[in-house]
Amino acid sequence: MSDSGQTGQLESLLRWQEAGGTWEVLTRSESSVTVALCRCDGGEVVDRVELSEPDAVAYVARSRD
């Protein structure tokens, strides 16, 4: 999911979840959040991604708070 652009960050995160993957928050700031993308079969971290689009940041906050 390494997406260096800002287009579709929330959609990418939702696709990851729909495929069975999990994620966890690593760091947060006022304008971004970094999440670890984990495999569904054991939780191994396969990628880390910084989300900065407001809808993606808000989704993570709602989902994890």
pLDDT value, residue 43: 87
> Which contacts (CB < 8 Å, 24+ apart) does range 19-27 have?
21/46, 25/60, 25/64
What is the number of structural domains in the chain?
1
Question: Do the domain assignments include residue 23?
Answer: yes
Question: Do the domain assignments include residue 3?
Answer: no
Question: Do the domain assignments include residue 25?
Answer: yes
- Ramachandran assignment for 21, one of left (phi > 0), alpha (psi -120 to 50 degrees), beta (any other): beta
Q: Higher confidence at residue 64 or residue 42?
A: 42
Question: Do the domain assignments include residue 2?
Answer: no
Residue 41 belongs to what domain range? 9-64
Question: Do the domain assignments include residue 18?
Answer: yes
pLDDT tens by residue, 4-53: 444 599 999 999 999 999 999 999 998 999 999 999 998 899 999 999 99
Question: Do the domain assignments include residue 20?
Answer: yes
Confidence tier at 64 by pLDDT (50, 70, 90): confident
